[in-house]
Amino acid sequence: MTTTTAVRTIASRPPRFRAVGRTTIRRSQRRAIWLLLLPFLVLFVFSFVVPLVYAVVESFFTEKRSGLGIGGERAFAGFVNYVNAIQKTDLLEGVGRVLVFGIVQVPLMLIVALALALAVDALKGNYPKFVRLSAFLPYAVPGVIAAILWAFLYLPGTSPFVAALASVGIDVDFLSSEVVLWSIANIVTWTWTGYNMLVIYSALTGIPQELYEAAAIDGAGAWRIAWSIKIPLVAPALVLTTFFSIVGTVQLYAEPTVLKSYSSAITSGYTPNMAVQDVAFGLNNYGVAAAMAVLLAIGTFVLSFGFLRLANVITARRAAA
């Protein structure tokens, strides 16, 4: 019996039976919802909640070793690990580095993604699938592989870019301390622009065609339609991609870790995640590393949800105006 048939059958019954039938349907719907959500909830708990709780617990303990450094005793440390984490120079420098990275790279990447999405939407029947695939293809390359490929394009002995610039009198080292951060930004932009473009383009496809037709009747051209209709209506998609980009920026790890083998400018604590790894597995100080990880999680939460709050305030003010 389908849901529609069941509702019709219940509607033909007396009120008391109708109420019982509606309650049964609601319970069945709730069970179906929870059943569909169960795989996600299980993965979320075991891949996010459990590690986070473990890190919080571990951050309040330390390992006291004997005078010879052999063996040790687990002891409660309170907030000592957090104090030591804040005093870590590598962590503070890494946080500052990724903040500068995000301020420059995230807006640039999203502007390019928006421009590509608008271009694909404007092409319509002129090979849009080929253009979408071409822009998305770098995202299909694993981040580590992409970093290795770009490393060879940055090395002075193998880079066609270095050779081409040298031929016109420009001497540049993409792996030097002054440039390597932006070399990493180039890799991240190359990898993720296509993904963000698809998110924005999906939002563009949901805009009713009647709005374009009405704007064209009023004499609006393609640029005016893009600026006054398309961009404002894909603002939620831009907010979503910015949110994900902020989280990804704080977690920057794969690209600098790979380039570390090719550049002496990248240290073990070049980014916050690399600093946490170095303290945990290089210095074997798991308590301080856990405290650093918790502080990074809190910082990521503040940045990302602070951005969402700001976006909601701006949207509300525009709606009120």
**pLDDT for residue 97:** 95
141 CB contacts (<8 Å, ≥6 apart)?
149, 191
pLDDT tier, 16 (very low <50, low <70, confident <90, very high otherwise): low
Mean pLDDT (the chain, rounded):
86
* pTM summary value: 0.83
**pLDDT for residue 31:** 86
Judged against a pLDDT cut of 50, whether residue 10 lies above it is answered with no
Judged against a pLDDT cut of 70, whether residue 313 lies above it is answered with yes
Judged against a pLDDT cut of 70, whether residue 53 lies above it is answered with yes
**pLDDT for residue 180:** 95
**pLDDT for residue 13:** 52
- Terminal-residue alpha carbon distance, the chain: 50
Judged against a pLDDT cut of 90, whether residue 290 lies above it is answered with yes
Q: Is residue 14 exposed (0-12), middle (13-18) or buried (19+ Cβ within 10 Å)?
A: exposed
Q: Each residue of 220-275: pLDDT tens digit?
A: 888 898 898 999 999 999 999 999 999 999 999 999 999 999 999 999 999 999 99
Q: Each residue of 56-83: pLDDT tens digit?
A: 999 999 887 665 555 567 888 889 999 9
Coil, helix or strand at residue 179:
coil
- High-pLDDT (> 90) share of the chain, %: 51
Q: Each residue of 136-172: pLDDT tens digit?
A: 888 888 888 999 999 999 998 888 988 899 889 888 8
| Pairwise CA distance, residues 64 & 287, whole Å | 11
What is the DSSP secondary-structure string of 9-66? HHHTS-HHHHHHHHHHHHHHHHHHHHHHHHHHHHHHIIIIIHHHHHHHHHTTEEEEE-
**pLDDT for residue 7:** 46
Strongest mean pLDDT among 84-88, 102-106, 279-283: 102-106
